[in-house]
């Protein structure tokens, strides 16, 4: 005797392939009608250019529409076509992306543009397998691009869709534990004649009505079919994963000046956290070490030079996804030795004016602002 899991019960209570036809049709029709009336007018919905749509899909990964819009407009100004992007320097690409976060997205966009230019003369592929093979494009993004650009009937499963579907079937486990089920459901529901509008509608529903907090069920076209709604448990779905507490790192950071009033910055390795971005050098404070000792040691280890640690400039609290940092930033003086890129990609002496043209992470932008204020106060 086979014991049925909660998953099976949940799914069969709605059915996927066994979902009655009338229910699917009804869901499709009501959603498409709702989209006609209530769908958002977004910049990337006014084009069928797969490149522009691709850019929007990448920017929208883990990022809200409101945040993306100005970046999207600027990006297309800077890189109007695949080959413009392919030919650009990575530094310039990262500069245009600066502030959007998850910088691997920009590096992958750049790399993929070069592949497309090399392999298909700059023409974005319309074949799913080829699209999926590009760096930075997974199943959801591939489905999003190809349904939006070419009206191909490919399902999507982003955060919005996971939430909408989890509520629709009152999914008894966190979405991450039921991805196969959710993909099947997204595929089953997809309206085969209007995949473009249907996918966009599903995302709009999640973003504007079936929101994480306080969903507006009285505006929803699906309440009649929604299990969570009928249980009166909309806000308890989707179920949450338990999250581990994140570490807090205490960092010493050096603004190293030379006699020419230039500042030493370094470029991070191309992979990993903030890969390819520039920063002020520094590192983690060890147990029993003062900030000045930490900074002196880190600079010796990373750049091979001797410095004197001077006045405090600013202290910055910053939260990343999986840890927090306190940046303790100090003015430093170059004493001797020629800086070597021991633990970074590249190093450079720059003036405060030049520094603006380099891509920096958010926390470092605050250091630059503090430096500008400091220099202005020195003059007066």
* 186 interacts with DNA by CB under 7 A: no
For residue 352, the Cα-to-chain-centroid distance in whole angstroms is 29
Q: Between residue 6 and residue 45, which ones bind DNA under the rule CB under 7 A?
A: 42, 44-45
Stretch that binds DNA, among 11-19, 297-305, 342-350, 359-367 (CB under 7 A): 359-367
| Alpha helices for the chain (secondary structure H) | 6-14, 21-38, 50-59, 65-78, 82-87, 90-97, 104-120, 128-132, 139-150, 159-168, 179-189, 195-204, 227-231, 291-303, 362-379
Shortest separation between residue 243's beta carbon and DNA, angstroms: 5
Among positions 17, 321, 378, 380, the unique one binding DNA when judged by CB under 7 A? 321
Query: Do 71 and 97 touch, CB atoms closer than 8 A?
Result: yes
Distance CA 204, CA 199 (A): 9
- Cβ burial of 359 (10 Å; 0-12, 13-18, 19+) is buried
Token readout for 287 is 């147990």
Q: Does residue number 158 form part of the binding site for DNA (CB under 7 A)?
A: yes
| Number of neighbouring beta carbons within 10 Å of residue 72 | 19
279 is in an annotated binding site: yes
Distance of closest approach, residue 293 Cβ to DNA, in angstroms: 26
**CB-based contacts of 93, cutoff 8 Å, min separation 6:** 79, 85, 106, 107, 109, 110
Q: Which of 16, 67, 81, 151 binds DNA (CB under 7 A)?
A: 67
Q: Determine if 62 is a binding residue for DNA (CB under 7 A).
A: yes
What are the structure tokens assigned to 123, written together?
């023409």
Over the window 98 to 137, marking each residue x when it contacts DNA by CB under 7 A and - when it does not, the resulting string is: -xxxxxx---x-------------------------xxxx
Percent of the chain that is helix, strand, coil (3-state, to 5): 50, 15, 35
Q: Is 216 annotated in some ligand binding site?
A: no
Catalytic residues: 57
CB of 65 to DNA, least distance (A): 5
**Per CB under 7 A, which of residues 202..221 are in contact with DNA?**
203-204, 206-207, 212-214
The least distance separating DNA from the CB of residue 17, rounded to whole angstroms, comes to: 23
Is residue 200 a contact point for DNA (CB under 7 A)? yes
Closest CB 315 distance from DNA, rounded Å = 12
Helices (H), 242-307: 291-303
Q: Could you list the residues that contact DNA (CB under 7 A)?
A: 42, 44-45, 56-57, 60-67, 99-104, 108, 134-142, 144, 158-160, 163, 200, 203-204, 206-207, 212-214, 240, 243-244, 272-275, 318-322, 361-363
């Amino acid at each position: 005797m086979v014991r049925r899991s909660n998953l099976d019960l949940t799914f069969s209570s709605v059915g996927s392939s066994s979902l009655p036809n009338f229910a699917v049709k009804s869901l499709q029709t009501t959603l498409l009608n709702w989209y006609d009336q209530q769908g958002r007018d977004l910049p990337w919905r006014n084009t069928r250019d797969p490149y522009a749509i691709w850019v929007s899909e990448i920017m929208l990964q883990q990022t809200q529409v409101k945040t993306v819009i100005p970046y999207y407009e600027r990006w297309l100004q800077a890189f109007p076509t695949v080959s413009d992007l392919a030919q650009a320097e990575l530094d310039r690409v990262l500069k245009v992306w600066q502030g959007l976060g998850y910088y691997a997205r920009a590096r992958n966009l750049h790399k993929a543009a070069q592949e497309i230019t090399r392999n298909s003369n700059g023409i974005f592929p319309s074949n799913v397998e080829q699209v999926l093979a590009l760096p930075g494009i997974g199943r959801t993004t591939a489905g999003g691009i190809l349904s939006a650009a070419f009206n191909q009937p490919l399902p999507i499963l982003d955060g919005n869709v996971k939430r909408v579907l989890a509520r629709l079937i009152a999914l008894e486990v966190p979405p991450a534990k039921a991805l196969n089920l959710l993909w099947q459901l997204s595929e089953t529901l997809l309206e085969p004649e209007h995949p473009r509008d249907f996918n966009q509608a599903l995302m709009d529903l999640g973003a504007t009505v079936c929101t994480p907090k306080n969903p507006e069920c009285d505006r929803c076209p699906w309440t009649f079919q929604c299990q969570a709604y009928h249980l009166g448990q909309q806000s308890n779905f989707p179920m949450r994963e338990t999250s581990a507490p994140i570490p807090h790192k205490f960092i010493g950071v050096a603004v190293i000046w030379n006699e020419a009033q230039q500042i030493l910055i370094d470029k991070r390795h191309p992979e990993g956290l903030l890969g390819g971005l520039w920063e002020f050098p520094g590192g983690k404070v060890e147990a029993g070490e003062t900030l000045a000792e930490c900074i002196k040691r880190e600079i010796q280890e990373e750049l091979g030079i001797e410095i004197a640690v001077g006045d405090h400039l600013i202290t910055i609290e910053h939260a990343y996804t999986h840890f927090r940092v306190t940046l303790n930033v100090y003015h430093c003086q170059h004493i001797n030795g020629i800086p070597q890129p021991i633990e970074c990609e590249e190093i450079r002496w720059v003036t405060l004016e030049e520094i603006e043209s380099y891509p920096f992470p958010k926390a470092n932008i605050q250091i630059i602002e503090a430096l500008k204020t400091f220099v202005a106060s020195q003059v007066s």
